[in-house]
Amino acid sequence: MPENKVRYGLRNAHYSKITENADGTLSFGIPKPLPGSVNLTLTASGDPIQFFADDTTYYQEDTNNGYDGKFELSRLTEDFRKDCLGETNNGEAMIENADSHGSKFALLFEFQGDKKATRHVVYYCSASRPEQASATKSDKTEVQTTTLEFTSAPRPDNRIVKANTSSTVSDAVYNGWYDAVYEPTLVPATGLTLVPDTISLAIGAIQQLAATVSPANATNRNVTYLSSDPTIATVSDTGLITAVAVGSATITAKTADGSFTDTCAVTVA
């Protein structure tokens, strides 16, 4: 099917309560409806990393910390208030306890298009308590809505933030979008290569490492870095080495998926 040319509307909001398992994986409950969608805004979260040298921006990398969201709807269901905000129902009243804590959830919804609605899921959301407000009735009834403010962070198990149906989605996936939270087929990492593997630097000099996760289509391509001796050479979260003092150090890179490693030997003279 051709891609949509335009986007409009908002409907079919659902949520799925998350259970965080002991092994670090996530389990998603059966999606439940959140009727009465009015407006949804997702604002990208994450400032670019900038390193300045030689009187210019020497290195820059964007970061993806998920989204800050606002979801306006007619009202929150009692199920959502229990599942995600930590309220309880004693059979007579919904009770909010200061010591109760909510649960993470996935938020599902769809935007209309000129060809076909695009269905979305943001995977790892947490919400704050919504503001409570209303107003006296006058000569006309004004419906009061609820705005839920939430954050959507990268999933801790695979760093995925969100997904949406494409123009080539299968009927099975599209029609089952609200039956179960969509889980993409994950491609595991099988190796890591760090370039260069040896460097010599003067004190104060910098060197950017390039880490390549195999295969190229691995789902989780995140890498962490560690210096064996930060008094000799430090390394940033993005693999930027800074020479600090004369000596030798080893920089180790490790994949988040599979814990594959590779090293770079640093000599500071």
Say if residue 218 is in the same domain as residue 105.
Answer: no
Q: How far is CA 30 from CA 73, 102, 147, 157, in A?
A: 21, 17, 23, 19
Give pLDDT tens digits for 50-79. 667 777 776 666 778 899 999 999 999 999
From the number of C-beta atoms within 10 Å of its C-beta (0-12, 13-18, 19+), residue 211 rates as: buried
Say if residue 232 is in the same domain as residue 147.
Answer: no
* pLDDT (mean) for 39-46: 92
End-to-end CA distance of the chain: 61
Contacts of 242 (CB under 8 A, 6+ apart): 204, 205, 206, 233, 234, 235, 236
CA 115, 116, 121, 126 dihedral sign is positive
Number of domains in the chain: 2
**Size of the chain in residues:** 269
Does a structural domain hold residue 181? no
Does a structural domain hold residue 92? yes
Does a structural domain hold residue 33? yes
Does a structural domain hold residue 182? no
**10/95 Cα distance (integer angstroms):** 30
**pTM assigned to the model:** 0.72
Say if residue 107 is in the same domain as residue 214.
Answer: no
Say if residue 131 is in the same domain as residue 97.
Answer: yes
Say if residue 74 is in the same domain as residue 207.
Answer: no
Say if residue 24 is in the same domain as residue 141.
Answer: yes
Give pLDDT tens digits for 164-196. 999 999 999 999 999 999 998 888 899 999 999
Phi, psi angles (nearest 5°) of residue 185: -70, 120
Does residue 135 surpass a pLDDT of 70? yes
Say if residue 103 is in the same domain as residue 230.
Answer: no
Q: Would you state the pLDDT for residue 59?
A: 64
Does a structural domain hold residue 180? no
Do 76 and 130 contact (CB within 8 A), yes or no?
A: yes
Does a structural domain hold residue 183? no
* pLDDT (mean) for 216-241: 92
Does a structural domain hold residue 254? yes
* pLDDT (mean) for 130-151: 83
Q: Which domain holds residue 207?
A: 191-268
**262/156 Cα distance (integer angstroms):** 23
Say if residue 130 is in the same domain as residue 88.
Answer: yes
